[in-house]
Structure 1
């Protein structure tokens, strides 16, 4: 008796379609987004963290540590302090990559946000239209604007700490009917430190890949990590990452490393279906061996992406 195939859910069908379409595209047709190298090794929360209002969120990647601190704003509608929360999830990552790309293309840390037609801006970012999408994007950009991040690096002798605010300033105004107002930045000014770090260490990513992986936040993080890491590995000198190291970096949501390993293997297959040049292999259940690989976006395409208007 042949086994009856289980029908895919609507969400799974859409995700499969996105992966297929991204894989079918020729590289020259791909839009390019840029992510900060810092946020290709350490990441925003994958889901909204259960923290106290002013509690700091932390994640680690080897000797690197990322702290994300929510800062209060004065609500212009009430004149009281208000915490907007921390950026999280797939949309936060894709939105920030879009903002990075706008800043790099214009060579200007000042980004004017559309006050009159956020729906078009939502479509520009690659998200589907809809009130819920607009509300989510407004919320995530407001959270990014009002938080501060700090990087710490253990040198073995001391720990080096660097404040790296994404945004040095933003104009905030209430948007929406009275009584149901949301807060929305009309202008975002990337901090000098972040903007210059972005210029020096921007990691090019294929927009079609990021949108295809948008249903799996861990896959987005793994894709960004591999895009940043693999082409820097010397040819013929692969680098080994133990499961304990990978668990520390990507397994924050798993109570058991065994559960993480099972799901991480599936995530790697999903990422590999798009980033086909990525070369890695599992070594005897001990960890992952990373080999030199071409990046998902070539240098030629990266330059042409920056030159395009």
Structure 2
């Protein structure tokens, strides 16, 4: 475990320096964490300099990492926000509607990132999906067949049918935002699946969600998103760091209890959460080498750090 920001930066800097000087295979011969080297190498090798965008509310609270029962509501609460995700329903002819469940895992997060990124880039609530989404997911390292694409379709339906409530707290004031992510969507038969599955071709973000996204976007690197594919908690940590670090005025301590509330919903014991969080923090830092953090016995100290994407360059308010 690292005890100061210099040591933390040294780890990331050493790994990136090893990869630059010796290549991925050469770096793997050193006594460093193999998984971190592979993720850092993937991040460094990705030549596309694309930028993604995320609504800042998702830097405070996140979707579940694992599947819940289809009729369960997801609630996560931190000192800054509470998010409630209610599963939507699908009509079934001749019988009662069925609950489709809340979105979860890394694929749900990638689809959400795509929707938000396209909305910001095009300045339009209407998002083209279909081939455009498949092409983007392919760039992010998602295979385009079999179980993988089936999972994408399932998560897309869960996202487009669910309802999300954000409750924000700031000092003595609080705010409530109730919203669907999507107002309308068009499904078409996917003939490659023999017509047994449907794929979303177009979606229209709800006006409220679109307005909040326009007011509070976080710019993030697509190279980082791609490297973190399959690591949903590390992706949440990366987005949180991208949102918080560049705005800090000085060192800020976050307790293990607060970290568990934000990133460890579903983990009963703090001593089980702590090592898993540290592992995922290392993964996040592998794609955010400028981040300065300090792991202590009582939690994590965040230090002012350069943002992964400079907000002022892209017209994003600080």
TM-score range, shorter chain: 0.7 to 0.9
1:38 to 2:54 alignment: no
Q: Rate the CA distance shift 1:50–1:15 in 2: closer, same or farther, 3 A.
A: farther
Q: Of residues 243, 250, 255 in structure 1, which corresponds to 2:256?
A: 243
Q: Give runs of ≥4 in structure 1 deviating > 6 Å.
A: 12-15, 177-180
- Residue 286 of structure 1 corresponds to which residue in structure 2? 298
Q: Rate the CA distance shift 1:78–1:209 in 2: closer, same or farther, 3 A.
A: farther
Name the CA distance, whole Å, in 2 between partners of 1:291 and 1:15: 22
Contact 1:22–1:212 (Cα < 8 Å) also in 2:
yes
Name the CA distance, whole Å, in 1 between partners of 2:205 and 2:85: 16
Unaligned segments of structure 2, at least 5 residues: 1-27
Name the CA distance, whole Å, in 2 between partners of 1:217 and 1:250: 10
- Residue 98 of structure 1 corresponds to which residue in structure 2? 114
- Residue 307 of structure 1 corresponds to which residue in structure 2? none
Contact 2:60–2:80 (Cα < 8 Å) also in 1:
no
Name the CA distance, whole Å, in 2 between partners of 1:139 and 1:58: 21
TM-score normalized with structure 1 length = 0.82
Q: Rate the CA distance shift 1:270–1:124 in 2: closer, same or farther, 3 A.
A: closer
Give deviations 1:64-88, integer Å, cap 9, x for gaps. Answer: 100001121324x767523222111
- Residue 83 of structure 1 corresponds to which residue in structure 2? 99
Name the CA distance, whole Å, in 2 between partners of 1:166 and 1:207: 22
Q: Of residues 187, 194, 217 in structure 1, which corresponds to 2:232?
A: 217
Considering only aligned residues, what root-mean-square deviation do their CA atoms show, in Å? 2.9
Name the CA distance, whole Å, in 1 between partners of 2:124 and 2:295: 43
Name the CA distance, whole Å, in 2 between partners of 1:85 and 1:246: 26
Question: 1:138 aligns to what SS in structure 2?
Answer: helix
Name the CA distance, whole Å, in 1 between partners of 2:78 and 2:91: 34
- Of Structure 1 and Structure 2, the greater helix share is in 2
Instruction: State the 1:155 CA deviation.
Output: 5.1
Q: Of residues 178, 187, 205 in structure 1, which corresponds to 2:220?
A: 205
Q: Which moved more, 1:32-41 or 1:153-162?
A: 153-162
Give deviations 1:111-154, integer Å, cap 9, x for gaps. Answer: 1222x787545425542232222211111111110001001134
Q: Of residues 252, 263, 266 in structure 1, which corresponds to 2:265?
A: 252
- Residue 4 of structure 1 corresponds to which residue in structure 2? none
1:186 to 2:166 alignment: no
Name the CA distance, whole Å, in 2 between partners of 1:127 and 1:179: 21
- Residue 84 of structure 2 corresponds to which residue in structure 1? 67
Q: Of residues 31, 38, 41 in structure 2, which corresponds to 1:20?
A: 41
Unaligned segments of structure 1, at least 5 residues: 1-6, 305-309
Give deviations 1:229-281, integer Å, cap 9, x for gaps. Answer: 111111xx221111111111111132210121122122222211220111111
Q: Rate the CA distance shift 1:271–1:243 in 2: closer, same or farther, 3 A.
A: same
TM-score normalized with structure 2 length = 0.79
